[in-house]
Structures are given as structure tokens and as C-alpha cells.
């Protein structure tokens, strides 16, 4: 997909708009499976929360992926996309026992990260196989917002609580068929991840009838030129060798599972916006676009970097701009960015917008969420319509106030 294709898509469907390249998703999937090609029983479960459009889920199913889900709604999306229940793992956090029981009725793999819920579920449903999410107390990713394996994380059962965990399993006679961890996003240090894997292997030895070990994901992708990314080849070589040896020690082959989200879809996504106004202040030139953190919150929420280019004037003289949105809050996409000269009406593209971008969009300021397009086999396919004013009102219930009742309140 080229910049000309993006311009044509914006012309056909309007802007702002999210565009995803299916070929890039497929190549990322192949890159991951190739890194672990020596593993006979490898499973990739796409992290639905990264980008949950049903057409994207169907594409993942065609690639051979399973699904990692974190809510009953994501489970239902996966089933609607044609996934078999056995291909879906459900790893919630902080949900009620009722939701876990409802999901269990659907036949998907349950993954529990809480001793209280584990005991409650095991006491009532001891015959339903359960995976256990362990917190290895290892910070393998970036900051605390995206690293979830550290000691203060709300996710997972602490490795220091293993004796309590084992007592619950023994008392309820429940079946544990998997062990899981997720240390967080943006893994850079392979050795730190391998250290966490050793903790997971040690934990697995406590359970005699495991079917799989799930290592989560968090593989880092480059967000700008010369950016560091996870060395998948090195990780694949080292972890595969260790996993094979562990299976021999354990006594039978296990399935190795990863749950990539950002790794598969981030680089495939492009967000196209139009410049409404170029505003010069005493110290800054602002390019104000027809979007805001209601569409793309990552820069404001995480301080994330998204490369910005001028599609309309790609070869223009480079100038410095702060690209901001139209929300009635500070909604800066990038400060003092070097971009080809911008004129009002130009189209800008934000790169690496496939993961945690549209899926975190909102109607703040009563703005519409944008359309989504999948670029597949050289053609553009609309996979989500742009919202309308009727969509904003759809679930609102209007009350009719009488003049008398209002006056009484006053």
C-alpha cells in the first residue's frame, strides 16, 4: 500500500480514517511463526483488544491464529468471526464470577489470575479445565502503564502465593491445564524475558497434567526510524531450545502459546487526517487537524510516538510543527515535529496506528468515531462506517420535562 493509495482511500471514504494493510499483518504473523518454526506445537493467539474489528478477526482466523480475549464481549466477537471455542482463551482481570461462568458455558479456555476467583470457580466447576495466570514479578517491558509483570501489578497470581494456589487446587480437585504469564509490552531485553520464562517453567513443575504454557507477548515494534525492536530471531532460538528441553524434563510435549497484538497489527495501521488550520503563535506553529485524542489517545495517555507525514506535499520544504487536535482539551499528537511544509487542507498520515488506536476511540466532545478500511489484495474494503449523529443518540433515552416540574425544582 502506497501513499497514493491512502490519498485515494481518503478521497473515497472521507477523513479522518483508519486504514489497515492486510499484507503487513500476514507478514508479521509469518515472521513470528518462522522465529519459532522448530516448535512442533506452536499456537498464536491474537490479542483481540489491540484491534477488535470483526473483519480483522476473520483475517487472523484465515492466517491460522487463535484469539486472546479479556472480556465476554471479545469472546462473543471471536465466535461471531467464526472462531471455534477451543481456539479462544479468556483472560479477564477484575471481573465477577458470574462473567467467568457465562464464558465457561461457551466452551472457551478459562484463564484465572485471582486466588479468590480461582477458589470460587474451582469449588463450583472442578471439572472445567482452567489455566492460571502467574505474576513472575519481572518487568520485561517499558513503563508501568504497559508492563504488567512487576510486583505492584494488579495482574496475575504472585509467585510467592504458589503454596496457597496449590492448596486451592488440591482442596477443589480442579483441573489445571495451562500456565500463563504476560510481562508487558515493548520487550527489549531477551534475557529478562527468558528469566521470566524460567520462573514459569518452575511453576509448571507443580502441575502434572498441563497441556500448554502461554508466554503472553509484548514484542516491541519500531515506531520511528532506527528504533529498537525485539530481536525475535534470538528469542526464538533461545526460548525454543529451552522449551524443547523442558518438555523432555516434564515428560510429554506441551503447546507453546504467544498472544501478540501490537506486533501483528501496529505497523499495518495508518491514520489519515486533514489539516483544518495552521496557527502561528509567538513560539509555535500549530497544525490543527480534524481529529483529537478521541480518535488517537496513545500520545496523550502513554506519551507514545507516531511518525507523521504530509501526504499532500511529501517533497515540500521541511518545517517544524506541533500537530494538535480539535478537542477542547490539550490533545497534542506531536510537538515540534519536522514535517514537509503544511498548508490548510493538506492530508497528514500517522503511522503505526493499527494497535490500541481505534479500539480506544471515544465520542468525547460528541465527535464521531471514524471509518475503518482494510487494504486487501490491492483493493480498499470498508470494514466500519463512519458514525453519524443518529449513532450518537441511538442509546440515549430522552426525558420530556414539564414546565411545572422544572419550576418546582428551581
Q: Which three cell numbers stand for residue 22?
A: 492486510
Which of 77, 109, 111 has its CA nearest to residue 92? Answer: 111
Return the ∠ at Cα 232 (arms to 228 and 237), rounded to 5°: 140
Catalytic residue among 131, 247, 328, 353: 328
Q: Are 178 and 210 in contact (CB under 8 A)?
A: yes
263 contact partners, CB below 8 Å, separation of at least 6: 28, 32, 217, 219, 221, 230
User: Residue 328 catalytic?
Assistant: yes
Count of CB atoms situated within 10 Å of the CB of 15: 21
Q: Which three cell numbers stand for residue 61?
A: 482466523
401 contact partners, CB below 8 Å, separation of at least 6: none
Which of 6, 101, 99, 84 has its CA nearest to residue 45? Answer: 84
Q: Are 353 and 296 in contact (CB under 8 A)?
A: yes
Which amino acids are annotated catalytic? 328
Amino acid at each position: 500500500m502506497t501513499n497514493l493509495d491512502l490519498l485515494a482511500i481518503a478521497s473515497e471514504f472521507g477523513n479522518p480514517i483508519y486504514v489497515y494493510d492486510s499484507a503487513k499483518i500476514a507478514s508479521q504473523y509469518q515472521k513470528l511463526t518462522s522465529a519459532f518454526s522448530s516448535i512442533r506445537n506452536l499456537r498464536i493467539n491474537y490479542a483481540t483488544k489491540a484491534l477488535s474489528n470483526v473483519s480483522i478477526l476473520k483475517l487472523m482466523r484465515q492466517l491460522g491464529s487463535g484469539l486472546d480475549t479479556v472480556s465476554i464481549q471479545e469472546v462473543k466477537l471471536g465466535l461471531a468471526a467464526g472462531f471455534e471455542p477451543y481456539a479462544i482463551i479468556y483472560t479477564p482481570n477484575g471481573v465477577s464470577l458470574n462473567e467467568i461462568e457465562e464464558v465457561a458455558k461457551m466452551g472457551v479456555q478459562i484463564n484465572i489470575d485471582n486466588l479468590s476467583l480461582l477458589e470460587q470457580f474451582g469449588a463450583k466447576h472442578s471439572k472445567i479445565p482452567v489455566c492460571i495466570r502467574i505474576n513472575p514479578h519481572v518487568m520485561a517491558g517499558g513503563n508501568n502503564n504497559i508492563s504488567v509483570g512487576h510486583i505492584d501489578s494488579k495482574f496475575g497470581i504472585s509467585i510467592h502465593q504458589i503454596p496457597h494456589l496449590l492448596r486451592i487446587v488440591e482442596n477443589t480437585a480442579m483441573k489445571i491445564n495451562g500456565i500463563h504469564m504476560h510481562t508487558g509490552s515493548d520487550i527489549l531485553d531477551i534475557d529478562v524475558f527468558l528469566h521470566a520464562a524460567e520462573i514459569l517453567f518452575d511453576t509448571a513443575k507443580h502441575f502434572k497434567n498441563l497441556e500448554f504454557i502461554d508466554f503472553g507477548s509484548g514484542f516491541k515494534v519500531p515506531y520511528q526510524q532506527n528504533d529498537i525492536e525485539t530481536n525475535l530471531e534470538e528469542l526464538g532460538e533461545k526460548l525454543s531450545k529451552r522449551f524443547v528441553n523442558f518438555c523432555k524434563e516434564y515428560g510429554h510435549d506441551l503447546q507453546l502459546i504467544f498472544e501478540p497484538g501490537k506486533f501483528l497489527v501496529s505497523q499495518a495501521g495508518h491514520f489519515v487526517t486533514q489539516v483544518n488550520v495552521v496557527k502561528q503563535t509567538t513560539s509555535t506553529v500549530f497544525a490543527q487537524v480534524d481529529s483529537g485524542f478521541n480518535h488517537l489517545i496513545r500520545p496523550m495517555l502513554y506519551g507514545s510516538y507516531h511518525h507523521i507525514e504530509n501526504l499532500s506535499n511529501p517533497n515540500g520544504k521541511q518545517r517544524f510543527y506541533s500537530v494538535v487536535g480539535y478537542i477542547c482539551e490539550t490533545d497534542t499528537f506531536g510537538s515540534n515535529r519536522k514535517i514537509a511544509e503544511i498548508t490548510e487542507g493538506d492530508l497528514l498520515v500517522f503511522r503505526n496506528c493499527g494497535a490500541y488506536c481505534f479500539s480506544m476511540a471515544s465520542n468525547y466532545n460528541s465527535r464521531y468515531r471514524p471509518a475503518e478500511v482494510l487494504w486487501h489484495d490491492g483493493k480498499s474494503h470498508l470494514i466500519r462506517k463512519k458514525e453519524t449523529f443518529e449513532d450518537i443518540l441511538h442509546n440515549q433515552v430522552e426525558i420530556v420535562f414539564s414546565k411545572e416540574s422544572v419550576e418546582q425544582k428551581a
